[in-house]
Structure 1
Amino acid sequence: MHVLVVHNRYRSAQPSGEDRVVDQEVALLAEAGHRVSRFERRSDDIAGMSLPQKAAVPLRVPWNPAVRAELAALLRRQRPDVVHIHSTFPLLSPSVVAACGDARVPAVATLHNYQMVCPTGTLYRAGRICTDCCAGALPLPAVRHGCYRGSRLATIPLAVSLAANRRRWWTGVERFFCISAAQRRILVGAGAPAHRLRVKHNFVPDPGTRRRGSGDGLLYLGRLAEEKGVRLLMTAWDQVRARGGLGQPLLLAGAGPLHDELASWASGRDDVRYLGPRTRAECAGLVAGAAAVVAPSVWPEAFGLVVGEAMAAAVPVVAADHGAFVELVEDEVTGLRHRPGDAASLADCLGRIVADPARNAALGAAGRRRYERDLTPQIGLDRLLAGYTAAIAQSATAQPASGGSPGGGRRRSR
Structure 2
Amino acid sequence: MRMLRCGGTGLMMKDRVAASRRVLIANYRYFISSGPERYLFNIKSMLEGRGHTVMPFSVRYGQNEPSEYARYFVSPLAGEDEVFFDQHRKTPATVAKTLSRLFYSREVEQAVTRMAEETRPDVAYVLYYLRKMSPSLLVGLKKQGLPIVARISDYGMFCGEHHMLRDGRPCTLCLDEGLQNEVRHACVKGSRAISALDVAATTFHRAKGYFDLIDRFVTTNPFMSEMMIRGGIDPARIVCIPTFTDMARFHPDADGPASPPYMLYVGRLDEPKGVHVLIEAMAMLRDRFGGDLPELRIAGEGHTRTYVDGLHAQAARLGLEGRVRFLGGVAGDDIPLLFRGALFSLMPALWYENLPNSVVESLSSGCPVVASDIGSLAVTITDGVDGLHHRPGDAAHLAAQAARLIADPALRRRLAAGARETAERNHSPDRHVSLLEGVFDEVIGEAGAPAAKRAAIG
Do the two structures share a fold, i.e. TM-score over 0.5?
yes
AA matched with 2:179: P
Secondary structure of 1:205's counterpart equals coil
Judge which range, 379-388 or 247-256, deviates more.
247-256
Paired residue for 1:165?
205
Mapped to 2, the partners of 1:331 and 1:281 lie a distance apart of: 29
Could you report, residue by residue, the CA deviation over 1:206-239 in whole angstroms, capped at 9, with x for unpaired residues?
2254233234211111111221111211222222
Equivalent of 1:39 in 57, 62, 77 = 57
Mapped to 2, the partners of 1:392 and 1:404 lie a distance apart of: 20
Mapped to 2, the partners of 1:107 and 1:280 lie a distance apart of: 30
Structure 1 residues 2-41: aligned runs within 5 Å: 2-9=22-29, 15-41=33-59
Mapped to 1, the partners of 2:341 and 2:148 lie a distance apart of: 41
Paired residue for 2:300?
254
Paired residue for 2:455?
402
1:355 aligns with 2:407: yes
Paired residue for 2:385?
333
Mapped to 2, the partners of 1:354 and 1:294 lie a distance apart of: 13
Contact 2:285/2:293, CA 8 A, preserved across alignment: no
Structure 2 stretches of 5 or more lacking a match?
1-20, 63-75, 81-88
Structure 1 stretches of 5 or more lacking a match?
406-414
Mapped to 1, the partners of 2:142 and 2:411 lie a distance apart of: 54
Aligned residues: 402
Paired residue for 1:89?
130
Structure 1 residues 69-148: aligned runs within 5 Å: 69-136=110-177, 139-148=179-188
Paired residue for 1:223?
268
Equivalent of 1:317 in 339, 345, 369 = 369
Computed over aligned residues only, the root mean square deviation of the Cα atoms, in angstroms, reads 2.1
Could you report, residue by residue, the CA deviation over 1:62-97 in whole angstroms, capped at 9, with x for unpaired residues?
211221122123212322110111111333110111
Paired residue for 1:237?
282
Contact 2:279/2:315, CA 8 A, preserved across alignment: no
Paired residue for 2:104?
63
Offset of residue 398 of structure 1: 4.1
Contact 2:225/2:238, CA 8 A, preserved across alignment: yes
Q: 1:117 to 1:72 in 2, by over 3 A?
A: same
Judge which range, 15-24 or 311-320, deviates more.
15-24
Secondary structure of 1:336's counterpart equals strand
Paired residue for 1:197?
238
Contact 1:318/1:353, CA 8 A, preserved across alignment: no
Offset of residue 249 of structure 1: 1.3
Q: 1:394 to 1:170 in 2, by over 3 A?
A: farther
Mapped to 2, the partners of 1:390 and 1:334 lie a distance apart of: 34
Structure 1 residues 256-271: aligned runs within 5 Å: 256=302, 257=304, 258-267=307-316, 269-271=321-323
Could you report, residue by residue, the CA deviation over 1:154-209 in whole angstroms, capped at 9, with x for unpaired residues?
33443233222236344211111011110111110121111101101111112254
Sequence identity (%): 29
Contact 1:179/1:303, CA 8 A, preserved across alignment: yes
Contact 2:257/2:340, CA 8 A, preserved across alignment: no
Contact 1:174/1:395, CA 8 A, preserved across alignment: no
Mapped to 1, the partners of 2:169 and 2:376 lie a distance apart of: 17
AA matched with 1:46: L
Could you report, residue by residue, the CA deviation over 1:124-144 in whole angstroms, capped at 9, with x for unpaired residues?
1111111111125x5222233
AA matched with 1:100: L
Paired residue for 1:412?
none
Paired residue for 1:410?
none
TM-score by length of 1: 0.91
Offset of residue 341 of structure 1: 1.8
Contact 2:217/2:237, CA 8 A, preserved across alignment: yes
Secondary structure of 1:9's counterpart equals coil
Contact 2:30/2:58, CA 8 A, preserved across alignment: no
Judge which range, 242-251 or 282-291, deviates more.
242-251
AA matched with 1:261: G
Judge which range, 271-280 or 339-348, deviates more.
271-280
TM-score by length of 2: 0.83
AA matched with 1:285: L
Secondary structure of 1:133's counterpart equals helix
Secondary structure of 1:319's counterpart equals strand
Moved >6 Å (runs of 4+): none
Mapped to 2, the partners of 1:103 and 1:150 lie a distance apart of: 39
Secondary structure of 2:416's counterpart equals helix
AA matched with 2:315: A
AA matched with 2:286: R
Could you report, residue by residue, the CA deviation over 1:82-120 in whole angstroms, capped at 9, with x for unpaired residues?
011111133311011111221111111000111111112
Paired residue for 1:409?
none
